[in-house]
């Protein structure tokens, strides 16, 4: 699990979002005097885990570097309903122009961090401390590293960042290469030293992946009984990852089966934006 370097993505995320909203300019904000100043507070209306401060800050930095932002909470903090997150002061036009874009980032990334924290809590509800929760590539287009950072803020762990930094041999790769053993051999030849993960759909495929030298074996849509059988068959040779239709209610039980990882796309795609509001007053 590599440390995320999301800064350049962050700058580009914000630039693209502002371009999407502004084009030739903010027609409504231009009704306000150019030198008018405003003070605003951002309030969280529900329980949540905060994430996205850097994206929020970058929105206003790109619009007007003179805007000041004072945070009263930090990323990964647990938030209570009606808690004030930050205070913002500066040019009224810039604040009003950036309001929605800044909140969009904050509410989306906080949503990812919040659901991740719920999944992590469920996994540990029976005292398990070994199994880690992993994210997937099922992220919002353009926000891959942002959402993976949010997973980290919620207490989860990051899987591969993309297709470029790890090998995950899935069903279609296996078919195209002529089988699990052939696919693993090809990976070992082309990318020596890179961790190799293989998706399996049966205990026979688990056995083949072990023999071929897979580093991580994904147990895709395995029953509880077959997961236990795979753990016994594995005997610690490879890391085991449970994946496929993982639901919140299942996590505590799955985490007790002796696997190393549980991965789910739900924490990045089944999200509901956190209810935030920005309240303005004259500076």
SS3 216: strand
Contact in structure between 173 and 193 (CB atoms under 8 Å)? no
CA 165/CA 168 separation, integer angstroms: 10
Which are the catalytic amino acids?
100, 138, 170, 199, 220
- Token reading at 205: 């495929």
Contact in structure between 122 and 266 (CB atoms under 8 Å)? no
Q: In sequence order, what are the residues at sequence separation of 6 or more whose Cβ sits closer than 8 angstroms to the Cβ of residue 44?
A: 50, 79, 80, 81, 82, 83, 85, 110, 274, 275, 276
Strand ranges (E), 6-76: 37-44, 48-49, 68-71
Residue with tokens 């509800």: 125
CA 112/CA 150 separation, integer angstroms: 6
């Amino acid at each position: 699990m590599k440390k995320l370097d999301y800064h350049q993505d962050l700058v580009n995320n914000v630039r693209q979002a502002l371009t999407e909203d502004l084009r030739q300019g903010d027609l409504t904000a231009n009704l306000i005097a150019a030198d008018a100043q405003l003070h605003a507070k951002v309030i969280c209306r529900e329980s949540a885990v905060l994430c996205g401060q850097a994206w929020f800050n970058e929105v206003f930095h790109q619009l007007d570097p003179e805007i000041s932002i004072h945070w009263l909470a930090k990323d990964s903090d647990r938030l209570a309903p009606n808690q004030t997150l930050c205070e913002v002061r500066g040019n009224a036009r810039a604040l009003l122009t950036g309001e929605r874009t800044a909140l969009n980032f904050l509410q989306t990334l906080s949503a990812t961090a919040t659901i991740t924290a719920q999944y992590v809590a469920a996994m540990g509800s029976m005292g398990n401390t070994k199994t880690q929760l992993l994210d997937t590539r099922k992220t919002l287009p353009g926000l891959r590293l942002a959402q993976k950072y949010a997973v980290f803020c919620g207490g989860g762990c990051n899987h591969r960042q993309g297709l470029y930094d790890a090998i995950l041999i899935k069903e279609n790769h296996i078919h195209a290469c002529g089988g699990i053993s052939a696919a693993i051999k090809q990976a070992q030849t082309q990318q020596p030293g890179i961790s190799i993960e293989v998706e399996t759909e049966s205990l026979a495929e688990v056995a083949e992946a072990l023999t071929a030298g897979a580093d991580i074996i994904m147990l895709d849509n395995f029953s509880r009984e077959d997961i236990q059988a795979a753990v016994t068959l594995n005997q610690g040779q490879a890391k085991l990852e449970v994946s496929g239709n993982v639901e919140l209610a299942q996590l505590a039980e799955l985490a007790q089966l002796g696997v190393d990882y549980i991965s789910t796309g739900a924490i990045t795609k089944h999200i509901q934006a956190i209810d935030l509001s920005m309240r303005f007053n004259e500076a």
